[in-house]
């Protein structure tokens, strides 16, 4: 569903039409699930999907530009996927974070070491992409500019870096 019909559905949902909102959420759910499964720990993906749908439902009226809907939703999913890591990086024990992944139920100092090892194990081009986006919080455009590459290449490097870190951490939790 693209074009004028999609825009009308978004506008109706934004205006408070509950039927349009239900259709919009049903339409968006497969994309949300696919993104969450790629970027979250496997055990957290279903929870992220549900929380994302809830946030979209509650905050749809705050969306300024309906053309930005897809990016807005994916940013919500990304932030929810990264929440356990962000909490951990701030030094709070992850075991206190509701529904934290299995690898997060380990002592904080061990997790920090595992994450540092995972990042260090990345090839330099992936490591740089990950650090620019997730630690320096640059936009994809800013990241591409710093890397001297296209937006698509920057996004690809970031995706691969996150996948490699996830694989590393999942491998650590099973040993």
98 part of a folded domain: no
Least Cα distance to 137 among 71, 78, 74 occurs for 78
Q: Give 118's pLDDT tier (boundaries 50, 70, 90).
A: confident
Considering only residues 69 and 90, tell me which one the structure prediction assigns the higher pLDDT: 69
Question: Average per-residue pLDDT in the chain?
Answer: 79
Q: How far apart are CA 128 and CA 133, in angstroms?
A: 9
- On whether both 83 and 115 belong to a single domain, the answer is no
Least Cα distance to 55 among 38, 39, 36, 42 occurs for 36
pLDDT score at 144: 93
- On whether both 84 and 143 belong to a single domain, the answer is no
pLDDT score at 145: 93
Least Cα distance to 107 among 90, 93, 87, 118 occurs for 93
Q: What is the pTM of this model?
A: 0.50
Cβ contacts of 88-92, under 8 Å, gap ≥ 24:
88/112, 88/115
Tally of domains in the chain: 2
- On whether both 37 and 68 belong to a single domain, the answer is yes
99 part of a folded domain: no
What proportion of the chain, given as a percentage, has pLDDT over 90?
A: 17
Residue 19 belongs to what H/E stretch? helix 18-39
pLDDT in tens, 29-46: 998 888 888 777 655 778
Q: Residues 161, 126: contact at Cβ < 8 Å?
A: yes
Q: How far apart are CA 68 and CA 74, in angstroms?
A: 10
Q: Give 116's pLDDT tier (boundaries 50, 70, 90).
A: confident
């Amino acid at each position: 569903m693209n074009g004028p019909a999609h825009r009308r559905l978004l506008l109706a949902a934004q205006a408070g039409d509950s039927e349009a909102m239900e259709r919009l959420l049903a339409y968006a759910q497969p994309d949300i699930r696919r993104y969450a499964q790629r970027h979250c720990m496997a055990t957290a993906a279903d929870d992220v999907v549900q929380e994302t749908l809830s946030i979209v439902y509650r905050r749809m009226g705050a969306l300024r530009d309906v053309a930005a809907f897809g990016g807005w939703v994916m940013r919500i999913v990304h932030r929810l996927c990264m929440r356990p890591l962000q909490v951990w990086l701030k030094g709070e024990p992850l075991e206190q974070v509701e529904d934290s992944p299995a690898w997060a139920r380990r002592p904080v100092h061990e997790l920090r070491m595992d994450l540092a090892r995972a990042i260090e194990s990345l090839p330099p081009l992936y490591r740089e992409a990950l650090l620019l986006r997730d630690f320096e919080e640059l936009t994809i455009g800013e990241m591409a500019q710093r890397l001297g590459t296209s937006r698509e290449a920057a996004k690809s490097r970031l995706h691969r870096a996150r996948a490699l870190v996830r694989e590393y951490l999942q491998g650590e939790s099973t040993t």
